[in-house]
A = this chain, B = another copy of it.
């Protein structure tokens, strides 16, 4: 049994743009501060699909084969010699970004900004869409019994929402506009409500996604069309809420949505940019400046796993409905194709042959 385990490390490897393969890789050996994990559930992210389709995201270019996947959870099967807080059998959620250097960003608590950070499935760093994966033990977080593996895997996208809402300063009674009801817009919605937002409007082109947003707790859904002007959409938002929102969380990356975000937000408010679009965008910056609408970016997250686990354990946030599709690891290509088509919300790959439960 142990033998077999160590021989089967089926992995989802991107060899080049468009060239996604399922292949065996050796089971890695954990270093002193690492743990070896038997992977359980790994969600597919838009960025995984983007690397597959384009071979790059911005300056990150695939130059050699890379394992995909970074929304993951699994079970500890081996611990490095220096690891004390985990033991074989522990169920853990994986934070995919691990700072390599103790630079000023790390020391001051913003390790996500460290330029040399390791990050699963960002070239050249391998991800964890495979059977066995080793990771820094300090970035594996034990899941309580009442949190499922899939919830554990969903902590990764949820963390983007947490970081976005935290940087936005969402608090009791906040009114919030979220542009885009994709997975990231939806987790931002869940988090905003959990942090006390009184009213959340969410916009999207897709009626299906808006329907899901309503189910997840959006107070208002705003169907938009590509040809709508930002000023008009902004007015529409204000008329739904009765006031301009305190905060806008932009989760599309589309230029017109960034413009909408600025026009829509009340003076003294905050626009958080989560969506990543074209390098140069044309925006009404004076409008933001003279109304002191702050524009804050979000790059992944830091220090979110513990609070996410706390929220899931206490049942204050319910991410389960986000999972709309499941595939065994062996059917990874079909799974990727599903995400590419924009069907459903979150597709989960089940990496453990013997346990395909949530």
A285: B residues at CB distance < 8 A: 258, 273, 280-281, 283, 295, 297
| Contact pattern, A 297-319, Cβ under 8 Å of B = 1, otherwise 0 | 11100110011101101101000
C-alpha gap A3/B138 in the complex (Å): 41
Contact of A313 among B166, B198, B276, B306 (CB under 8 A): B198
- Which among A126-134, A170-178, A336-344 touches the partner chain? A170-178
Q: Is the CB of A281 within 8 A of B282?
A: yes
Contact of A292 among B219, B290, B299, B307 (CB under 8 A): B299
C-alpha gap A291/B173 in the complex (Å): 26
Asked whether any CB of chain B lies closer than 8 Å to the CB of A102, the reply is yes
- Which among A44-52, A72-80, A105-113 touches the partner chain? A105-113
Q: Is the CB of A292 within 8 A of B172?
A: no
Copy total for this chain = 4
C-alpha gap A331/B33 in the complex (Å): 44
C-alpha gap A82/B136 in the complex (Å): 18
Q: Which of A195, A219, A290, A308 has the most CB of B within 10 A?
A: A290
A278: B residues at CB distance < 8 A: 286
Q: Is the CB of A196 within 8 A of B198?
A: no
A199 to chain B: closest residue by CB: B314
Q: Is the CB of A303 within 8 A of B113?
A: no
A274 to chain B: closest residue by CB: B289
- A165-B173 contact given A196-B196, A285-B281, A291-B297, CB 8 Å threshold: no
Known: A173-B307, A278-B286. 4 other contacts (CB 8 A): A108-B303, A274-B289, A285-B295, A285-B297
Residues of A at under 8 Å CB distance from B? 58, 102, 104-105, 107-113, 115, 138, 162, 165-167, 171-173, 175, 191, 193-196, 198-199, 219, 253, 258, 267-268, 273-274, 276-299, 302-303, 306-308, 310-311, 313-314, 316
